[in-house]
Amino acid sequence: MSENPTAPENTVAPESTSVTDNAAAVRKGKENGRFPRGIWVRLFAYLIAGHVFAGFLYLLFEMGAK
């Protein structure tokens, strides 16, 4: 066997991990530990839509009970 057991052929070079570390540091610095604005907008929209749907179901069952 001529393979080196400590360095498999399909390993990623250590230099490529520094790029992802830098991107993570930039992303964390930009957000300052807060959720992105898109998450808040989506959460608000889902809450409103969920309450409208729940209200519709409530009215549907109230009208059906009469």
pLDDT tens for the chain, 66 residues long, are 566 667 666 666 655 556 666 666 666 656 688 899 999 999 999 999 999 999 999 999 999 998
Residues counted in the chain: 66
pLDDT on residue 16: 56
In three state form, how does the secondary structure of 2-61 look? CCCCCCCCCCCCCHHHHHHHHHHHHHHHHHCCCCCHHHHHHHHHHHHHHHHHHHHHHHHH
pLDDT on residue 28: 61
Single out the residue of 50, 53, 51, 55 nearest to residue 63, CA to CA: 55
pLDDT on residue 18: 62
pLDDT on residue 63: 95
Single-letter amino acid, residue 60: L
Single-letter amino acid, residue 33: G
pLDDT on residue 30: 64
